[in-house]
């Protein structure tokens, strides 16, 4: 197959998976209006891969002449990473700023697991690498949508897996048989699980020897027996395209994913008990994934900058000094995040197995710059837009002949900008930055792909201080 | 009467006022579920005035021995202002952090208008003061709920009233008769208009002589002929008290308020054509109102700090250094806003007519500190709470026996904190800071009571630099 | 005596004290030009106490009708604290923004030690309180200048006193006799020690039982045998009043203070081995001292604001928007620090012995606001002044007929501002904010009176969260 | 010649140039100790060009096989710009973090002038380009040191050149002859003028037709008749290498540069009256120069980061959480400035004449990030170092046998770090960040290469918003 059509993708999701939404079992995720909206959103990945103008970016031809989704291509150099960044940006742009994340994160896992398994192979554990390579090839061949479940529910965050009130706060192996392992536990906020073909699972942190049973990485299909997904109802938008130009059509889905003694055959087990490598796989995955994050944020930032500029114009305040100051901050924000992301690809490091990973200091700097300043940038856009964002009339008031003309008359802005366009800009900004979806994106900015603290820790840990310390010692005449 | 009961207040709102909501005329604001929620919310003002523990704070006894709502008491000294601040805090606390604003803003107008009218009286315009005093007495006697409509819709913000595409972008007098004036135009985001007994109207900015017809201040009842209110549908919360512990019960209502040739009798006109004083009334009102703002923000900030602390405890991270850092920032935020607000009362200035106004530099510093840092404080709370804020399950999932036990088991935090309480804390934080309501409050933080820029301008304008310039000149030996 | 004259003060310093400066023994601190500058600077305290316009502020009359320096008055209420703040401000203003610190810090120690000793007395240790009271009375009677040595040199900051490479990194008791104790160790950055009549010593941190010998508080005269003071050469300014309008006349002196087996008679020992109270005295002293800090910063901030305003005017940029923005930030900074400081006095707490201490959350918020933002405010002033701050000509170039006219002609600014005054403003700003003294003040801002971290810790520790947690629990329906 | 030796460079400076320092004429800049220090500092450029390990970086071989300083190579692509950045970094590293700036800025001028002159040539003004090309070739052939004088003294900043109190506040042409022009005026803070072989002069801002005589660009030798340079005495350090490890050996020199009717032959005039291009040359020069700035800041930042790390270790606080936080901020700062600078080279734009200029949005973002955060980064380093920075003893106290052993004993830090090394680190930090030099660098951070405001303006002006606005319009359904 190698490349699925959007229809094939949608069809592939009717497989009996167990999904709950607002207290009810969702019979068929392709039919329920909420899940269907999310599916249509991510199907854009398959759609644009077929479009002539995106085809060369979204796909690649392997040495055998077979065309595949470019997501599955193992990055070997800066150009691979730059193209990957561009591809993620393009697909997110197809989602009007909302990431699709059905291949980005899954392949982040595949690359990281491959690098760690290669390393494990050099330490006398060759079987994981072999399985991972077969799994990778199969995923590519089937052109699957993938979710990754990493974050354990964790219970008391100050305690490790074995110190918790019950032992299942972190996903663990409860038994092993000749055929495979049985896992139990739950993972929080698994994005895209309900519309994936594969769910990959990996540890969320470094582990000690006592945590051996928690050092487990594997993949299961979403209809695996014992797997239950509880879909979060938050960030739902009303279906008004006027009020929710983004949210009415684009949607990220997250689940609490429960592994109720799920059996996983050995062929799909990539780590089982090798606690020494739990930290490595957790961190390596994150290195790839923060780059993905920095890449997919761009279209959303572009909408923030663009909406601020158009709104300033509609309000007639483009020349106000404080507005120019805010626009400068927004532009600077965009360019810094984008510039550092690209630079992290260009200054990549090479992992075991000849896999290129974006420079972790720079990719974390990019993600950190995005995350730490997001709320302030939201404030800047809201500031430019004005209070009408949340005190304005509804779509139905515009349609009502008793009130519509008042609104048309009184809510106009700068001459030449139609009132309706001014309201559409308000709606875009509110939808993105002052609504359920707005709240979702604020949380996403600081919690997705690791918190602010983890990014700072990574920068300190990965920074190569040696040349700089040597230079300082010399300039300070230390030891003289 | 002097003091209304909650029931009397509700009854007073059935007067034929013209209110639209989502494209439909609201027949009776006391019956529509959305407006009723807002009415029940603000009725707390009348309720607590009757409670023994609040009575002395919420009311006062005048020289004739008559008890009135304390809101109407003209502040004469620091103690009056401190008590007023405490009263506003207490009533907002009764609203669980959501301001009631049915007397706060109206009396801010009465005090400011009184001071300016007193000044106008010394300039040969005595009639406005006399009318205002009668109006003030009547409002107090009837114990009315009041809204204030100040912000004009403004059109192109870079242009003045007379330069706009049409002349009605600012409210103006279109004709004058022996009995009164006729006004036309619209005011944006009028808070509480649909549940007030009086709507006071004043200019939004300083005006030039050419803008004479825009220099108009007056009051009308909400059922005045030609007055239409379009109620904003934004910041509506679902009626789940589990998911929306604040929003399901408390609600601020804002309207686009249209004056379609509304007649106002002279007795209710407080400024008509005195363009020289337009800036004075706009600014003086705002001086009182920023103090009100700083006062009513406190319970909301308290909920932010309290939720962050309880959430940190429930997650087991109270001792993490970055959490302690964030809690320190939150505490510092609260104390700074509160400390500066109180200090502005203690260092008040005296206006014409012996009216005490909070020190404008300090009250603006308090409001500015609140507004500029709000989004970052939101980020701090969201950071402590975690991603589960927006990826967690719904109330119905907890009730469903197929999923409820999973949730109970897996979403527990620190031992001893019930899972349900942990989820309630998540819900509180999401309701306040990552939802429609959360977006509303972000906008409110920077746009209500004047924008960030206006607060900076006020501080520069009102700052008494003389002693400090003299000291600097001396230390720098200028002129020597 | 009760009140010393400036001359009596200077005379009192010729007592054989051992002071080193740049490798040489200073024979007489009143004669060496550097120490003399510092002495003349602090003598202002005695001078203004004699001036009619300051006398009532700088002194008070006790119940016996005796007039004393107000510094020694134990604060009993808000008014005492507010007057104390005003007095500290006035004396620092006499120092042109540079704190005198010859009574401020010493009396901070006396008040704190008195409160802790009172508490110790209730725990069966009455002798310390009695000695302290006699010592306090004697200091007041002799109108002494006092220094306080708190910060131990500390060695490895991650280790406690007994874990260090040698046991003397914290000052400790090495032996006890019938007559007193013998102490050894060194204290860092003791301000004013070389020009004090008394040096009080106290622990720098909480201690454990093993640290018993480090739990020592006492006072010695600066000429005590075995006491050596090494005066720091940093922050010296050239004696040009043109280039250093502040630094050429005002100077803070700090020493490394070495206790080489100094004997202290029991009458001057206020704590010896009571390790349980070491944290209490360290913290209580700091509570008083942070208030002192917040008080004495004001004149310096005033000079920053004033210099920025006058400089903006001289450069002709007062109306530039970014300049107004920076002035607004500076004004806001000043008002916030001052407002919170005053509020901490008004909301004081009562300690054992009926001693009023400023509210520690507010005084720390004031100090923290000052310290965290100081460098950015410096940047704002430097930004307004321009690069000429450090690329301009010297005083001698102005005097040189070959270059003076060029400078007069070309370095003029706005018409009406003499070139020389513009340069004087440049000099003031450079002297304060871009010189040795500027560096000193940056360090002072973050390290004097405790670091940024200690202020955050104090706010968290001292904050009364109970009412706010209760309110949050109620609003979140916890436990329902 | 093509490459000068350090000695040839020094010799070339004995040419009778008129330099004043502290009121006296400097007879020979190579002999006066202050100017000699600055000359030895910049001579490093010639020295390292001869070193085998730097030769390929610092020089290039042209098409005729002639080796030249790489500075003079016109950048044609990303690689040229990246090498240039690396070269500037390397030479600044040779200056121990202090930029040399004897070829960086001059060639920035040559490239910008060449691009603008090329453009002017297409507009019918070919002679400037021809002269510039000859001048460029000559500068390269002679391997000259160059200074650039751009910033006029400006007088009242709110007024243009012709509105000032006298007409010479901006450099202007006072007469023209057959042989050349005569210029009058003064330029502020001309870096390196006293030790250059050429001084290039260009306008500081866009000009109007009335300002025609101010639209002048040219080059003169420093000994031109009528040229006087007043060397600024600020940022002088004492010659102690212990206390001033940087400042005792490295020095930037700035002058007030006076053009007292200086004659310039036509061959050296590159613009005369073409006011339409004044803005273009001012801006284009700055585009190159901000990239230079971002490049030369790196070694200084490296010293900040390195000193903070080594100091944290010496104090035993590397593991303290707040220290790790500060180190993370410092690392992030370094990586962001460096990453954006490199990216601006990679994403260069092409100017007229096929000259590659770094992307102005990114290079300004790099410079802005550096400048806006510099003071806070200084605070972070100072915070880690501690108060001893400015209260510690002098070098002579260490040498004195009466005090040296005390200092050795008491000012030790973590075991294993010699006391003297700990003090050397203190000295490095104070020298760089809390001294005359520290003040100089703070001013430099915000004023050199354009102020914070100009960088924001440039980002807004140069940002290509079109694609992003188009995307926003589509997502918001504008015009539908």
Beta-bridge mates of residue A59: A69
pLDDT at B217: 98
Please identify among residues 345-374 of chain C the ones whose CB lies closer than 8 Å to any CB of chain D. Answer: 374
Q: pLDDT over 90 for what percent of chain C?
A: 98
User: Neighbouring chains of C at 3+ CB pairs within 8 Å?
Assistant: A, B, D
Which chain B residue lies closest to A156 (C-alpha atoms)? B414
Determine the residue among A153, A233, A236, A410 to mutate to test chain B binding: the one whose Cβ has the most chain B Cβ atoms within 10 Å. Answer: A410
Is A76 an 8 Å CB contact of chain C?
no
**Span A125-135, pLDDT tens digits:** 999 999 999 99
Beta partners for D172?
D184
From chain D residues 165-194, the ones with a CB under 8 A of any chain C CB are 165-166, 168-169, 185-186, 188-189
What is the Cα–Cα distance from B146 to C47, expressed in whole angstroms? 59
Which of B317, B321, B329 to mutate to probe the D interface, most D CBs <10 Å?
B321
Number of CB pairs < 8 Å for A and C? 6
Task: Name which of A382, A413, A443 is nearest B156 (Cβ-Cβ).
Answer: A413
Of C324, C327, C346, the CB nearest to B346: C346
CA–CA separation, B201 vs B150, rounded Å?
6
Q: Check pLDDT > 70 for residue A455.
A: yes
SS3 content of chain A, % helix, strand, coil (to 5): 55, 15, 30
A321 contacts on C by Cβ (under 8 Å) = 321-322
Mean per-residue pLDDT over chain A, rounded: 97
The stretch D1-22 carries a mean pLDDT of 95
pLDDT at C383: 97
Cβ atoms A468, D306 nearer than 8 A: yes
Strands A146-149 and A198-201: parallel
pLDDT of res. C132: 98
Q: Which chains does chain D touch, 3 or more C-beta pairs < 8 A? A: A, B, C
pLDDT digit string, tens, across residues A215-246: 999 999 999 999 999 999 998 888 899 999 99
Residue A122 burial (CB count, 10 A): 11
Q: Give contacts of B336 with chain C, Cβ < 8 Å.
A: 336, 340, 365, 369
pLDDT of residue D313: 97
Q: How far is CA D424 from CA A89, A451, A477, in A?
A: 49, 37, 7
Size of interface A-B (CB pairs under 8 A): 274
The Cα–Cα gap between B105 and B113 comes to 12
Three-state DSSP string of chain D: CCCCCHHHHHHCCCCCCCEEECCEECCCCCCCHHHHHHHHHHHHHHHHHHCHHHHHHHEEECCCCCEEEHHHCCCCCHHHHHHHHHHHHHHHHHCCCCCCCCCHHHHHHHHHHHHHHHHHHHCCCHHHHHHHHHHHHHHHHHCCCEEEECCECCCCCCCCHHHCCCCCCCCEEEEECCCEEEEEEEEEEEECHHHCCEEEECCCCCCCHHHHHHCEEEEECCCCCCEEEEECCCCCCCCCCCCCCCCCCCCCCEEEEEEEEEEEEHHHEEEECCHHHHHHHHHHHHHHHHHHHHHHHHHHHHHHHHHHHHHHHHHCCCCCHHHHHHHHHHHHHHHHHHHHHHHHHHCCEEECCCEEECCHHHHHHHHHHHHHHHHHHHHHHHHHHCCHHHHCCCHHHHHCCCCHHHHHHHCCCCCCCCHHHHHHHHHHHHHHHCCHHHHHHHHHHHHCCCCHHHHHHHHHHHCCCHHHHHHHHHHCCCCC
Residues of C in contact with D24 (CB under 8 A): 396, 400
Q: What is the pLDDT of residues A14-69, one digit of tens each?
A: 999 999 999 999 999 999 999 999 999 999 999 999 999 999 999 999 999 999 99
Angle at B189 between CA B183 and CA B194, to 5 degrees: 75
Cα four-point dihedral sign D129, D135, D136, D137: positive
Q: Do A232 and B21 touch (CB under 8 A)?
A: no
β-bridge mates for residue A67, sequence order: A61
Could C93 and B307 be called an inter-chain contact, meaning their C-beta atoms sit closer than 8 Å? Answer: no
CB contact under 8 A, B365 and C332: yes
C322·A321 Cβ contact <8 A: yes
pLDDT at C312: 98
D378: nearest CA partner in chain C: C375
Is A262's pLDDT higher than 90? yes
| Closest chain B CA to residue D322 | B321
DSSP-derived secondary structure letter, A312: H
Strands C198-201 and C146-149: parallel
- DSSP annotation of A259: E
Please give the DSSP secondary-structure letter assigned to residue A469. Answer: H
Residues of A in contact with B412 (CB under 8 A): 155, 165, 169
Q: Compare CB distances from C439 to D159, D402, D439 and report the shortest one's residue.
A: D439
* Residues of chain A positioned with their CB less than 8 A from the CB of B452: 322, 383
Note which residues in 119-148 of chain B have CB less than 8 A from chain D.
none
Residues of A203-214 as b/e, b for ≥16 C-beta within 10 angstroms?
Answer: bbbbbeeebbbb
pLDDT in tens, B300-332: 999 999 999 999 999 999 999 999 999 999 999
Distance CA B51, CA B150 (A): 33
Q: Output the CA–CA distances (angstroms, integers) from residue D299 to D86, D241, D296, in the order listed.
A: 11, 19, 7
Q: Stretch B203-219: mean pLDDT, rounded?
A: 97
Mean pLDDT of chain C: 97
For a pLDDT cut of 90, what percent of chain D falls above it?
98
Which B residues 321-350 touch D at CB under 8 Å? Answer: 321-322, 325
Scanning every residue of chain B, which has its alpha carbon at the shortest distance from the alpha carbon of C464?
A: B331
To the nearest whole angstrom, how far is the Cα of D108 from the nearest Cα of chain B? 39
Separation of alpha carbons B111 and B122, rounded Å: 17
User: Mean per-residue pLDDT for D41-53?
Assistant: 97
What pLDDT does residue C2 have? Answer: 84
Which residues on chain C are in Cβ contact (under 8 Å) with D391? 188-189, 232, 234, 254-256
Angle at D429 between CA D423 and CA D433, to 5 degrees: 150
Question: What pLDDT shows up at residue B325?
Answer: 97
Please compute the mean of the pLDDT values over residues B285-308 and round it to a whole number: 98
Q: What is the pLDDT of residues B397-432, one digit of tens each?
A: 999 999 999 999 999 999 999 999 999 999 999 999
What band does D235 get if pLDDT is binned at 50, 70 and 90? confident
User: Using the beta-carbon criterion (under 8 Å), do A234 and B440 form an inter-chain contact?
Assistant: no
Per-residue confidence band for C23, with pLDDT thresholds at 50, 70 and 90:
very high
Q: What are phi and psi of A173, to 5 degrees?
A: -85, 125
D274-284, pLDDT tens digit by residue?
999 999 999 99
Of A324, A368, A469, the CB nearest to D460: A324
Averaged pLDDT, A247-269? 97
**Per-residue pLDDT reduced to its tens digit, A368-378:** 999 999 999 99
Question: pLDDT digit string (tens) for A381-408?
Answer: 999 999 999 999 999 999 999 999 999 9
Give contacts of B320 with chain A, Cβ < 8 Å.
Answer: 157-158
Residues of A in contact with B319 (CB under 8 A): 158
Q: Residues 6 or more apart from A384 whose CB is under 8 A from it?
A: A308, A311, A312, A315, A317, A323, A326, A327
B248-261 pLDDT, tens per residue? 999 999 999 999 99
Return the residue in C24, C34, C234, C407 with the most chain D beta carbons within 10 A, the one to mutate for interface testing: C234
Q: pLDDT band for D2, please (50, 70, 90 cuts).
A: confident
What is the pLDDT, as a whole number, of residue D394? 96
CA distances from C18 to B391, C27, C146, C226, C480 (A): 69, 8, 17, 9, 70
Q: What percent of chain D has pLDDT over 70?
A: 100
What is the least distance, in Å, from the CA of C174 to any CA of chain B? 37
Residue D416's contacts (CB-CB under 8 Å, 6 or more residues apart) are: none
Kindly state the DSSP code that residue C464 receives in the 8-state scheme.
-
Rounded CA-CA distance C438/C28 in Å is: 28
Q: How confident is the model at residue D480 (pLDDT cuts 50, 70, 90)?
A: confident
Rounded CA-CA distance D193/A3 in Å is 66
* pLDDT surpasses 90 at C236: no
pLDDT digits (tens, 9 = 90+) for B380-395: 999 999 999 999 999 9
- pLDDT-based confidence at C238, cuts 50/70/90? confident
The Cβ of residue D17 has, within 10 Å, a number of other Cβ atoms equal to 21
Residue of B18, B23, B252, B398 to mutate for A, most A C-beta atoms under 10 A: B23
Q: Predicted confidence band at A1 (pLDDT cuts at 50, 70, 90)?
A: low
In contact, B18 and B227? CB cutoff 8 Å? yes
Q: Are A226 and B381 in contact (CB under 8 A)?
A: no
Tally the C-alpha atoms within 13 A of residue D69's C-alpha that lie toward its C-beta. 31
| ipTM > 0.85 (yes/no) | yes
> Across residues D457-467, what is the average pLDDT?
97
pLDDT at C1 over 80: no
Of B25, B188, B413, the CB nearest to A155: B413
Chain D residues close to B321, C-beta within 8 Å: 321-322
C-alpha to C-alpha distance for B396 and C167, rounded to whole angstroms? 65
Q: Which chains does chain A touch, 3 or more C-beta pairs < 8 A?
A: B, C, D
**Are A428 and D475 a contacting pair at CB < 8 A?**
yes
D465/A425 Cβ within 8 A: no
Query: Considering just the CA atoms, what is the radius of gyration of chain B in Å?
Result: 24
CA dist., res. A229 & res. A209, Å (int):
30
Q: Do D387 and C159 touch (CB under 8 A)?
A: no
Tell me the pLDDT tens digit for each residue of D309-348: 999 999 999 999 999 999 999 999 999 999 999 999 999 9
C-alpha closest to that of A201 among A282, A293, A266, A123: A282
């Amino acid at each position: 197959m190698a490349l699925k059509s959007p229809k094939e993708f949608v069809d592939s999701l009717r497989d009996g998976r167990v999904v709950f939404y607002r207290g009810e079992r969702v019979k068929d995720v392709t039919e329920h209006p909420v899940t269907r909206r999310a599916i249509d959103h991510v199907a854009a990945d398959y759609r644009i891969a077929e479009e002539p103008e995106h085809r060369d970016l979204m796909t690649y031809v392997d040495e055998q002449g077979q065309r595949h989704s470019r997501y599955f291509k193992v990055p070997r150099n800066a150009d691979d990473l730059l193209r990957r960044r561009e591809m993620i940006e393009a697909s997110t742009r197809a989602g009007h700023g909302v990431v699709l994340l059905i291949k980005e994160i899954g392949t982040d896992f595949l690359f990281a697991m491959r690098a760690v398994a290669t390393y494990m192979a050099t330490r006398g554990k060759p079987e994981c690498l072999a399985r991972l390579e077969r799994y990778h090839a199969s995923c590519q061949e089937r052109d699957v949508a993938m979710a990754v479940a990493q974050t354990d529910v964790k219970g008391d965050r100050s305690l490790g897996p074995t110190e918790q009130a019950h032992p299942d706060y972190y996903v663990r192996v409860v038994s092993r048989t000749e055929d495979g392992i049985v896992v139990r536990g739950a993972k929080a906020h698994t994005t895209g699980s309900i519309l994936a073909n594969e769910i990959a699972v990996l540890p969320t942190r470094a582990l000690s020897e006592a945590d051996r049973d928690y050092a487990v990485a594997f993949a299961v299909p979403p209809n695996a027996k014992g797997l239950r997904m509880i879909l979060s109802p938050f960030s739902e938008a009303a279906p008004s395209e006027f009020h929710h130009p983004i949210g009415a059509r684009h949607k990220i889905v997250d689940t609490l994913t429960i592994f109720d003694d799920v059996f996983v055959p050995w062929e799909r087990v990539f780590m089982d008990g090798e606690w020494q490598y739990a930290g490595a796989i957790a961190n390596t995955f994150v290195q790839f994934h923060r780059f993905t994050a920095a890449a997919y944020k761009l279209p959303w930032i572009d909408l923030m900058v663009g909406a601020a500029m158009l709104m300033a114009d509609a309000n007639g305040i483009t020349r106000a000094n404080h507005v120019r100051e805010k626009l400068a901050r927004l532009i600077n924000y965009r360019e810094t995040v984008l510039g550092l992301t690209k630079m992290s690809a260009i200054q990549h490091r090479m992992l075991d197995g000849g896999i290129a990973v974006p420079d972790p200091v720079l990719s974390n700097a990019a993600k950190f710059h995005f995350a730490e300043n997001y709320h302030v940038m939201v404030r800047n856009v809201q500031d430019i837009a004005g209070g009408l964002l949340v005190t304005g009339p509804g779509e139905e008031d515009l349609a009502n002949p008793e009130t519509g003309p008042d609104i048309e008359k009184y809510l106009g802005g700068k001459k030449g900008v139609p009132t309706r366009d001014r309201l559409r800009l308000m709606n875009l900004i509110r939808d993105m930055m002052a609504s359920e979806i707005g709240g979702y994106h604020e949380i996403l900015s600081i919690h997705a792909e690791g918190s602010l603290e983890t990014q700072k820790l990574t920068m300190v840990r990965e920074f190569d201080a040696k040349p700089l310390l040597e230079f300082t010692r010399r300039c300070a005449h230390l030891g003289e």
